[in-house]
Amino acid sequence: MSENIALRAQGLYKVFGRHADDAVAKLRDGASRDDLGGATAAVIDASFEVKTGEIFVVMGLSGSGKSTLIRMLNGLHPQTAGTVEIGGTSITGVNAAELRDIRRHKVSMVFQHFALLPHRTVIDNVAYGLEIQGIGKDERQARARKITQIVGLAGWEEKFPNQLSGGMQQRVGLARALAADTDVLLMDEAFSALDPLIRREMQDQLLELQSELGKTIVFITHDLNEAMYLGDRIAVMRDGRIVQIGSPEDILTSPANEYVEQFVQDVDRSRVLTADSVMRKPRAAIHEGSGPHAALTVMRDEQLSAAYVIKRDRTLVGWVRDRDVLDLVRAGKKDLTPAIQSDHGAVAADTSLADLFIPSLESALPLAVQDPRGKLVGVIPRVTLLATLGGEPDAAASATPSPDPLPTAMVTKALDASDEGSTTTAKEAR
C-alpha cells in the first residue's frame, strides 16, 4: 500500500441472510437487490481509498448502506466479499485476536450515541482505549488529560457522563478515540444526535483538531451540508452502491447522475465553492517593465479599460487604468510606475464564494486570485460569480470583465503620436 494511502477498500459486499455467497454471485452478474430471494444486500461492490490525513465522508439516505460500510472497515461486520486494508495491514479473514489488536492500534470509532461507560469518569472514559492497549496508569492518565484539554473538557475530568450535556458527552467519545492514537478514526453519524448549534460547534472543533493532529477520518453522515463542510472528498451512496466519489466541488458542480444532482440542488453553493473553482484565466496582464506604450497597446487590443500589472514571475504588483496610461503616453513617459495602483484587493484561491461578494463589488476589475506566493493565478469576473451562484457556472465563461474602455480610435491616435523609442512590444507585454 502506498505511504499516502491510510485505508483501502476493494470490492466490498455485505449480504445478510441465507446463501450470501450466492447472492454476491447474482449481484456480480447484474441482479438487483430485489432479485436475491431471502437475502438482503446492504453494501454492493464498494471500492475506495482514503488518503493519509484526509477527512473522507460517506453520505447517503437511510438504507443506503453507509453505516454497514463503516462497520466493515473495522471488522464489526465481516465482509461477505472484498478486502479492507488499514495502514497496509489486511483485516480480511484475520482471527479474533488479530482483529482486537487492529482495533486497539490501527482503527478507533466514535459512535452516534456516545457509547460511554456510565460508571467511569470523563478522564477514565478517555483513557479506556489506552488501558486496553496495556499502557500504564500514569502514562494513560497524562495522555488522556492532554486530549481532554484539546477537545475543551479541561475542568470536567472527574465528572461522570450523566453530569454532562450531549455535546460534552460526544466530546468525551471523540477524546477517547483520539487518545488511542490509531491510524484511522471512524465516525458514524457522530454529530447527528446533537442540537443544531452544538452540532455546528462540534464540526468546527473537528476541523480544528484535524488541522492540529492531521488524523485520517472516515465520517458517515446523511446530512449533505455536513458532508460538504467537513469532507476533503465525499462518497455518495445509494441502495448499497457508491455512485460518486469526489471533492465537495466535484459533487456540487459535476454530479454523476440525476440522483446526485437532486441531492445537491439545495446546497448553499457560496459556502462550498471557492475562488479556485470559478476563476478564469486573465485576458491580459501587463508586465511591470513594459512601459506605457506597450501597456496601452495591450489594453486596446483586448478592449480593456484596466488590467493587472505583474512581475516577470507573475507576482501581482497592482493594476492600471487605460486613462492613466494614456496620460503617460501623451506625456512621452517611458515608465509605467506612476500609473500603477497597488490596491489590487486580490483574494486567496481557497476563499469561499460567500466571502467574495464585497471584494468583487469594490474591485474595478475582475477580482484577482493569487497563490500563497503572491502570484496571479486567475481572475473572477463579477458576472461569473453571479452565474455560478445561480447554478450556471459555464454561462459566464466568456463574459467581458472590463466595460467601457476608451474608444479605440482615441487610443490608436495617441499611440501613433507617441514616442516610438520604446522597444517593448505588445507581444512582450503579454
Round to whole Å and give the CA distance between 302 and 44.
54
Regarding whether 381 and 250 lie in a shared domain, the answer is: no
| Domain endpoint, select from 267, 289, 304 | 267
How much is the average pLDDT of 394-400?
A: 43
pLDDT range class, residue 400, cuts 50, 70, 90: very low
Q: Is 51 exposed, middle or buried (0-12, 13-18, 19+ CB in 10 A)?
A: middle
Regarding whether 225 and 291 lie in a shared domain, the answer is: no
Identify whether 66 is part of a domain.
yes
Identify whether 112 is part of a domain.
no
Identify whether 351 is part of a domain.
yes
Regarding whether 333 and 251 lie in a shared domain, the answer is: no
Identify whether 374 is part of a domain.
yes
The number of distinct structural domains making up the chain is 2
Regarding whether 253 and 284 lie in a shared domain, the answer is: no
Collapsing DSSP to helix, strand or coil, 372 comes out as coil
Regarding whether 413 and 317 lie in a shared domain, the answer is: yes
Give 84-111 pLDDT, tens digit per residue: 999 888 888 888 888 888 888 888 888 7
Identify whether 221 is part of a domain.
yes
Pairing of strands 216-221, 184-188: parallel
Task: Say whether pLDDT at 49 is over 90.
Answer: yes
Give 242-287 pLDDT, tens digit per residue: 999 999 888 988 889 998 888 887 777 777 788 888 888 888 889 9
Identify whether 163 is part of a domain.
no
Regarding whether 354 and 312 lie in a shared domain, the answer is: yes
Regarding whether 98 and 37 lie in a shared domain, the answer is: yes
Regarding whether 231 and 355 lie in a shared domain, the answer is: no
pLDDT range class, residue 213, cuts 50, 70, 90: confident
Regarding whether 326 and 231 lie in a shared domain, the answer is: no
Regarding whether 235 and 319 lie in a shared domain, the answer is: no
- Domain of residue 31, CATH code: 3.40.50.300
- Domain of residue 281, CATH code: 3.10.580.10
For residue 385, the model assigns a pLDDT of: 82
Task: Say whether pLDDT at 219 is over 80.
Answer: yes
For residue 414, the model assigns a pLDDT of: 60
- Alpha-carbon distances, residue 185 vs 109, 176, 179, 188 (angstroms): 6, 11, 11, 10
| Domain endpoint, select from 211, 237, 267 | 267
- pTM for the full predicted model: 0.72
What type of residue is 410? M
| Domain endpoint, select from 267, 284, 315 | 267
For residue 424, the model assigns a pLDDT of: 38
The closest of 27, 61, 58 to 41, measured between CA atoms, is 27
Identify whether 293 is part of a domain.
yes
Give 276-294 pLDDT, tens digit per residue: 888 888 888 899 988 899 9
Regarding whether 337 and 417 lie in a shared domain, the answer is: yes
Round to whole Å and give the CA distance between 216 and 187.
11
For residue 399, the model assigns a pLDDT of: 43
Regarding whether 69 and 195 lie in a shared domain, the answer is: yes
The closest of 254, 207, 185, 224 to 59, measured between CA atoms, is 224
Provide the residue range defining the domain that includes 360.
276-429
Mean pLDDT over the full length of the chain: 84
CA angle 109, 111, 114 (to 5 degrees): 120
Identify whether 413 is part of a domain.
yes
